[in-house]
Structure 1
Amino acid sequence: MSDKPTGVFVRLPVTDEQAQEMYRAYCAAYASSSLTTRGIATQAALFEVGTPVHSGNLDPSRECFEKFYAQMCARATGHDTTPEYVSGLRTGNNYGGRTFLNNAWQAWPDYVKYVQAQIAALEAEVVRLREALDRIRLIPFPMMDLPAGIMHGIAHKALKGGAA
Structure 2
Amino acid sequence: MTDTNSIGLHSGNASQLAEKLNHLLANYQIFYMNVRGYHWNVKGSEFFQLHDKFEELYTDLLVKVDEVAERILTLGHQPVHAYSDYMTLSSIQEDKNVSDGQTCVKGVLKGYQTLIELQREVLALASDADDEGTAAQAGDYIREQEKTVWMLGAYLAK
Higher helix share: 2
Between 1 and 2, higher relative CO (CA 8 Å, sep ≥ 6) is seen in 2
Give me the TM-score of the superposition, normalised by structure 1: 0.31
Give the TM-score normalised by the residue count of structure 2: 0.32
